[in-house]
Every structure is written in C-alpha cells, then in structure tokens.
C-alpha cells in the first residue's frame, strides 16, 4: 500500500479542492473535508488505473518535504491519500488446464456464486469458501460430473 501527497486548497466562497503533485491533472473537490477525502481517493485510484492501462510507470511517492518546498504548493495543506491498488493490481493471465479440471473449477465457481478468476484466486491463497447459503465450507475442487 502506498500513500501519495495531496494538497488541499480552499478559497473563500469555494469548495475544498485537492491536487496531487505526483499526478498532474488529477484533482477532486468536495463541499466538506470528508467528501473531499472520498473524492480524492476515488480520483487518485481512477487516475492510476488509467495510467496502468496505458502502460505508464507509476512514480514513487514524493516526500511531503519536497512537495511543500515547491512554491506552487507551499500555500496548501498536505494530506496523505492511500492507494492500495498499485502493488496488488489485477493482471490478466492465460493458463492451460485439462478440460475436466476447467469444468470442475467452473462448477465450483458457480456453486459459490463467483467468477472463475475469483474462485481460482481464492483457492490459491487457501481461502475458506461458504456456499451461497453460507452453511457449507469449501472442501476443494469437485471432480468431473458423472453421467449415468
């Protein structure tokens, strides 16, 4: 998880505004500080998502000291905004499985009401599953269905 510096600005008669020196053009506003915080987190996460989709490297966070030394930001109030997505972002992969294994994964995913990807990810980290009714613990992959 990373924290980036946001600079809060508030002029008389205006909403609170925030900008991110590490991400020029990424801004948000709100009528209250709480609304500003929520908007800032969403704006920053969305901005980073777009950069990642475009293959742009995400810069490491600048220090508060370095940012506040810049005359463009010296009049603002620095805050740290959390970004969890960078280190643990979703990545598309291509895997090879036996048809029967894929069928078992798909049946189990459907039984638990999740996507194939979510099912594989949860199984990989040893997650405990519950059925849709929340009563049956996950016991592993079901084998191929038997035809009579």
Q: Structural domain boundaries of the chain?
A: 2-83, 93-148
CA distance 8 to 131: 46
Give the pLDDT confidence of 73-119 residue by residue, as tens digits: 999 999 999 887 665 556 778 899 999 999 999 998 888 888 888 88
The CATH architecture one would assign to domain 2-83 is 2-Layer Sandwich (3.30)
Q: Which residues contact 8 (CB under 8 A, 6 or more apart)?
A: 16, 17, 18, 33, 36, 76, 77, 78, 79
Q: Please tell me the predicted confidence (pLDDT) of residue 53.
A: 83
Give the pLDDT confidence of 18-44 residue by residue, as tens digits: 999 999 999 999 999 889 988 999 999
């Amino acid at each position: 998880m990373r924290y980036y510096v946001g600079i809060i600005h508030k002029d008389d008669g205006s909403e609170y505004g925030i900008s991110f020196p590490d991400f020029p053009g990424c801004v948000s506003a709100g009528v209250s500080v709480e609304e500003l915080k929520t908007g800032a987190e969403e704006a920053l996460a969305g901005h980073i998502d777009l950069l990642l989709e475009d293959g742009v490297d995400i810069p490491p966070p600048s220090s508060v000291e370095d940012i506040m030394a810049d005359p463009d930001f010296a009049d603002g109030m620095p805050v740290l905004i959390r970004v969890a997505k960078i280190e643990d972002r979703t990545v598309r992969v291509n895997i090879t499985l036996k048809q029967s294994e894929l069928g078992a994964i798909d049946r189990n995913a459907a039984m638990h009401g999740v996507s194939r990807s979510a099912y594989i990810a949860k199984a990989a980290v040893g997650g405990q599953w519950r059925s849709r009714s929340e009563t049956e613990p996950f016991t592993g992959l079901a084998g191929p269905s038997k035809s009579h």
